[in-house]
Copies of this chain bind each other. A is one copy, B any other.
Amino acid sequence: MKRTYIDMNDIRFLLFEVHGIEELTRHPRFAHVGGREEIELLLQTARDIADREMFPFYKEMDSQPVVYRDGGVRTHPQLRNIFRAVADAGWFAATTDFEDGGIQLPYTLFSTAHMIFEAANNSAQGYLGVSTGAIDLITTFGSEELKKTFVPPMMEGRWQGTMALTEPQAGSSLSDIRSTARPTPDGAFHISGQKIFISAGEHEACDNFIHLTLARIEGAPAGTKGISLFLIPKFLPSAEGDLVYNHVECVADFQKMGQRGYATTHLVFGETGPTVGYLVGEAHRGLACMFQMMNAARIAVGQTAAAIASAAYHYSLNYARERPQGRHILEKDPLKPQIPIIRHADIRRMLLAQKCFIEGSFSLVTECLKLVDLEKISEGEDQRRARLLLELLTPIVKTYPSEEGIRSVSQALQIFGGYGYTMDFDAQQYYRDIRIMAIYEGTTGIQSLDLLGRKVGMESGKALEYLAREISKVVEAAAQYEDLLPYAHRLQSAVSIWQSVLSHLQGFAGRGQLDRYLADANLFLELSSLVVMGWQWLKMGVTASGQWTGGRSLPTAFYQGKLQSMRYFFKYELPRIHS
Contact = CB atoms under 8 A, between A and B. Distances in A.
Contacts of A335: 222-223
A343 to B, nearest CB: 11
B406 A410 contact: yes
B421 A439 contact: yes
A448 interface: yes
Nearest to A323: B171
A516 to B, nearest CB: 9
A257 B423 contact: yes
A445 B344 contact: yes
A439 B410 CA distance: 11
A172 B410 contact: no
Contact of A522 (B173, B222, B349, B522): B349
Contact of A257 (B325, B346, B417, B421): B421
A457 to B, nearest CB: 14
A219 to B, nearest CB: 15
A378 to B, nearest CB: 34
Contact of A576 (B444, B453, B579): B579
A333 B344 CA distance: 59
A345 interface: yes
Interface stretch (A9-17, A424-432, A470-478): A424-432
Interface in A442-461: 443-445, 448-449, 453
Contacts of A423: 254-257
Question: Chain A binding site: helix, strand, loop or mixed by DSSP?
Answer: helix
Contacts of A172: 325-326, 417
A338 B175 CA distance: 10
Contacts of A101: none
Contact of A432 (B223, B257, B325, B420): B257
Contact of A421 (B196, B222, B256, B522): B256
A537 interface: no
Contact of A436 (B197, B421, B435, B578): B421
A298 to B, nearest CB: 16
21 contacts: A171-B325, A173-B327, A197-B418, A223-B333, A256-B422, A257-B422, A329-B449, A329-B515, A329-B518, A330-B514, A344-B445, A349-B519, A349-B520, A413-B435, A414-B443, A414-B444, A417-B439, A420-B439, A421-B435, A421-B439, A432-B432
Interface of A: 166, 169-173, 175-176, 196-197, 222-224, 254-258, 264, 324-327, 329-330, 333-335, 338, 344-347, 349-350, 406, 410, 413-414, 417-418, 420-424, 428, 431-432, 435-436, 438-439, 443-445, 448-449, 453, 514-515, 518-523, 572, 575-579
Given A410-B435, A414-B438, A414-B443, 20 more contacts: A169-B338, A176-B326, A176-B334, A196-B418, A255-B423, A255-B424, A257-B422, A257-B431, A330-B515, A345-B515, A345-B518, A345-B519, A346-B445, A346-B448, A346-B522, A350-B445, A417-B443, A421-B436, A576-B576, A578-B579
